[in-house]
Amino acid sequence: MSQITNIKYRADFIVRAAETDYSRKLTLPGLLRIFHEASLQSAINLGLSIWHLEKYNASWILLRKEVNLYNMPVLGDLITVETFPSGADRHLTYRDFKAFDQHGNLLATASSSWLLMELNERKMMTIPEEVINSIERFFPDPSDCLPRPSGKIPLITNVDYQWKAQVGWFDLDFNHHLNNVTYASWMLNALPESVFKSKKLSNFQIRYTKEALLHDSVICNTQQMDEYQFIHQLTRTSDGADLAFSKSTWI
């Protein structure tokens, strides 16, 4: 069941086995995939999907996201996701997400910023005025929106943990680059097992800087800042290009 009320889109999702961990709880990558699906359906309803943008030869690209996790649901739970564009300017649009349980309790939130990429040159482009004009009158009051993701993540100065991977065919999305959820998955994969078994993820921030393409070999370097915080850096090994930066906070 789904519905669109003005600019807000709401949809119900069942937590599936592939989205859970060893304890049967929804994982961060699982939640991000649900949020991604909700944002796609929202964009379709608003006439702003990749199909609607074909006349501009453009597509939306995620730039930053900050997720706050309060109580992760478990396998088989029904959750409701609400998402909506929360603002825009000439170069960026912003989108908020909220997840609720069946009783209306808040499970998680995410704020995000997106840019528009021209698909031939693979470069950022100015968002057409008609795109912004079509939705700006529906933007919620700023007091109803989440804080913008800052993207201010410290740089790694020491490597404590590493994870290596290579981009395969099934890691790509419809923009022909590494799926944004996989970036996050690979960054967290660098952490030791003890973190996942003894702590709970409460906040995750990520900033995307470059595309990872098919067959790229990448390495995730992770530094432990203190008992509860880690910073992560995803780098392409062939040219040393930094692809993304993230920070995870655990309790």
Please, which pLDDT band fits residue 3 given cuts at 50, 70 and 90?
very low
CA distance 160 to 163: 11
Regarding whether 113 and 59 lie in a shared domain, the answer is yes
Distance of CA 126 to the CA centre of its chain: 22
Neighbours of 107 (CB within 10 A): 20
Residue 155 counted as domain residue: no
Please, which pLDDT band fits residue 4 given cuts at 50, 70 and 90?
very low
CA distance 108 to 130: 32
Examine the pLDDT at 2 and tell me if it is beyond 80. no
Averaged pLDDT of the chain: 94
Rounded mean pLDDT of 102-106?
A: 97
Domain extent for 83:
2-144
CA distance 137 to 152: 30
pLDDT score of 1: 39
- Give tens-digit pLDDT for 211-238: 999 999 999 999 999 999 999 999 999 9
Examine the pLDDT at 112 and tell me if it is beyond 60. yes
Check: pTM over 0.75? Answer yes or no.
Answer: yes
Regarding whether 172 and 113 lie in a shared domain, the answer is no
Regarding whether 179 and 85 lie in a shared domain, the answer is no
pLDDT score of 102: 96
Looking at the structure of the chain, the number of domains it has is 2
Examine the pLDDT at 26 and tell me if it is beyond 80. yes
Regarding whether 117 and 22 lie in a shared domain, the answer is yes
Q: How far apart are the first and last CA of the chain?
A: 34
| CATH code, 204 | 3.10.129.10
8 A C-beta contact, residue 11 and residue 2: yes
Regarding whether 14 and 93 lie in a shared domain, the answer is yes
Residue 170 counted as domain residue: yes
Regarding whether 202 and 86 lie in a shared domain, the answer is no
Regarding whether 172 and 92 lie in a shared domain, the answer is no
- Give tens-digit pLDDT for 160-196: 999 999 999 999 998 899 999 999 999 999 999 999 9
Please, which pLDDT band fits residue 150 given cuts at 50, 70 and 90?
confident
8 A C-beta contact, residue 155 and residue 186: no
Residue 29 counted as domain residue: yes
Rounded mean pLDDT of 102-107?
A: 97
- Give tens-digit pLDDT for 40-93: 999 999 988 888 899 999 999 999 999 999 999 999 999 999 999 999 988 999
Regarding whether 181 and 135 lie in a shared domain, the answer is no
Examine the pLDDT at 5 and tell me if it is beyond 80. no
Q: Helix 180-189 and helix 28-46: axis angle, to 10°?
A: 170
pLDDT score of 133: 86
Regarding whether 204 and 125 lie in a shared domain, the answer is no
pLDDT score of 134: 83
pLDDT score of 132: 87
